[in-house]
């Protein structure tokens, strides 16, 4: 990787991935692709090039790839699971139409492509505990439909056209920089904000709702390491299970209480999010990622909680 285009660079993952790639690949261009209304600001704007790239417009992707001689595209454009249920047509247009545009540009111009998949690519008939790498994927959300279709389409472009597509299935991602927008796992970010602000947290999911979660530094490292992996070792491509921790609302709340003794949580259930969460795995088996490209997480719930609280206190001036 040298010249990299990030589509969706101002979102929850993109804003941090762009800065990490600029630090790690100082000799190349890391282009922050953005859409109107979500322009890069501050450090992201000032530390490197940016380019208008609406993923639904293939010509804009091609223009940015040509201008910066891009060899690798990180495609991070998506509507998250809950918001995608209110706009399923748009979710398809961005998730699958956008991926198709990206893969076509990559095929014509010889780029590698990373497109994250998700725990949302699984569904109610998937084995929920230690979900295997290769298993049933029959999601019932539009988000999941776009993710599992995206895995298939990405593998197709690799086998049929030799496009170097690779990806991981992200768990819920927890970070303090940019907020996620409209996902089912967002509660595990929001809970830290409430704890630092001294507010009682209203949890949208019921006790016992287990999902895989991951701290952003591990997720970013996974996104870089999979693209740098030795291709001769990869038996899978789209997309690898990765995991670092699994918890339910009671467990994360108790962990936060260890560090913020006055913290309180009550339940105010969101039926849509609950239904989605119930259809997703409780925990993924990431053996294949460990074996094929040496994936290994660094943050557990304790380390993440300490780091989140420390950084949010600074960010919120608390
Ligand atoms: N974080 C995503 C969501 O909740 C799942 O990948 O929609």
Checking if the pLDDT of 14 tops 80, the result is yes
Q: Is residue 96 part of a domain?
A: yes
Q: Write down how long the chain is.
A: 318
Per the domain annotation, does 229 fall within a domain? no
Q: What is the pLDDT of residue 27?
A: 86
Please give the distance of CA 74 from its chain centroid, rounded to a whole number: 11
DSSP, collapsed to helix, strand or coil, labels residue 305 as helix
Residue 277 in tokens: 């969460």
Rounded to whole angstroms, the Cα distance separating 90 from 65 reads 24
For residue 273, give the CATH number of its domain: 3.90.25.10
182 lies in the same domain as 139: no
Is 141 touching ligand 1 by the criterion CB < 6 Å? Answer: no
Other beta carbons within 10 angstroms of residue 267's beta carbon come to: 12
| Ligand 1 atom with minimal separation from the 82 CA | 7
Which two three-digit tokens encode residue 13?
């993952």
- 134 closest CA partner among 124, 148, 116, 146: 148
* Chain mean pLDDT for the chain: 97
- The percentage of residues in the chain with a pLDDT greater than 70, rounded to a whole number, is 100
**What is the tens place of the pLDDT at every residue in 114-148?**
999 999 999 999 999 999 999 999 999 999 999 99
Q: What is the mean pLDDT of residues 156-164?
A: 98
SS3 per residue for 141-173: CHHHHHHHHHHHHHHHHHHHHCCCEECEEECEE
Radius of gyration in angstroms for the set of CA atoms belonging to the chain, rounded to a whole number:
19
Ligand 1 pocket residue status of 170, Cβ below 6 Å: yes
**Ligand 1 site, residue 239, Cβ cutoff 6 A:** no
Cβ neighbours of 313 (radius 10 Å): 13
Mean local confidence (pLDDT), 91-103: 98
Does residue 185 have its Cβ closer than 6 Å to ligand 1? yes
Domain that includes residue 257, residue range = 173-213+245-316
156 is catalytic: no
Confidence of residue 28 (pLDDT cuts 50, 70, 90): confident
Q: Which of 183, 219, 276, 281 to mutate to test the pocket of ligand 1 (most atoms within 8 A of CB)?
A: 183
Please report whether residue 240 resides in a domain: no
Q: How far is 112 from 53, CA to CA, in rounded Å?
A: 17
**How many domains, the chain?**
2
pLDDT in tens, 68-87: 999 999 999 999 999 999 99
* pLDDT of 181: 83
Tell me, yes or no, whether 131 and 198 share the same domain: no
Whether residue 208 has pLDDT greater than 90? yes
The catalytic position among 34, 143, 157, 192 is: 143
pLDDT of residue 88 exceeding 90, the answer is yes
Measured by CA distance, the residue closest to atom 2 of ligand 1 is 183
Q: Which atom of ligand 1 is nearest to the CA of 280?
A: 5
Maximum CA extent, the chain: 57
Q: Ligand 1 within 6 A of 144 CB?
A: no
232 falls within a domain: no
What residues does 245 pair with on adjacent strands? 213
Whether 224 is in a domain gets the answer no
pLDDT given for residue 180 in this prediction: 85
Helical ranges in 162-300 per DSSP H = 187-197, 216-228, 249-259, 271-279, 287-293
Considering the domain architecture, whether residues 205 and 143 belong to the same structural domain is answered as no
Q: Each residue of 252-293: pLDDT tens digit?
A: 999 999 999 999 999 999 999 999 999 999 999 999 999 999
pTM: 0.97
Same domain (yes/no): 76, 201 = no
Grade residue 302 by pLDDT with cuts at 50, 70 and 90: very high
């Amino acid at each position: 990787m040298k010249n990299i285009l990030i589509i969706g660079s101002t979102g929850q993952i993109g804003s941090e991935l762009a800065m990490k790639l600029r630090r790690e690949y100082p000799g190349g261009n890391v282009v922050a692709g953005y859409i109107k209304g979500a322009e890069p600001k501050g450090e992201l704007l000032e530390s490197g090039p940016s380019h208008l790239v609406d993923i639904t417009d293939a010509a804009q992707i091609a223009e940015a790839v040509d201008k910066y001689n891009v060899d690798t595209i990180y495609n991070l454009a998506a509507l998250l699971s809950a918001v995608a249920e209110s706009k399923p047509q748009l979710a398809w247009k961005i998730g699958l139409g956008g991926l198709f545009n990206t893969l076509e540009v990559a095929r014509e111009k010889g780029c590698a492509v990373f497109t994250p998949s998700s725990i949302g690519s699984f569904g109610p008939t998937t084995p929920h505990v230690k979900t295997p790498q290769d298993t049933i994927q029959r999601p019932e959300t539009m988000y999941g439909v776009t993710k599992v279709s995206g895995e298939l389409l990405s593998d197709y472009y690799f086998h049929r056209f030799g496009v170097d597509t690779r990806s991981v299935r992200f768990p819920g991602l927890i970070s303090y920089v940019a907020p996620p927008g409209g996902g089912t796992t967002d509660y595990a970010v929001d809970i830290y904000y409430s704890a630092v602000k001294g507010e009682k947290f209203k949890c949208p999911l019921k006790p016992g709702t287990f999902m895989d979660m991951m701290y952003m530094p591990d997720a970013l490292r996974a996104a870089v390491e999979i693209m740098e992996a030795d291709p001769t070792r990869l038996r899978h491509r789209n997309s690898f299970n990765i995991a670092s921790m699994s918890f339910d609302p009671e467990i994360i709340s108790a962990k936060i209480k260890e560090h913020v003794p006055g913290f309180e949580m009550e339940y105010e259930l969101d039926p849509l999010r609950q239904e989605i969460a119930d259809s997703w795995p409780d925990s993924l088996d990431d053996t294949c990622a460990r074996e094929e490209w040496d994936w290994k997480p660094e943050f557990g719930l304790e380390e993440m909680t300490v780091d989140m609280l420390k950084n949010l206190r600074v960010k919120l001036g608390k």
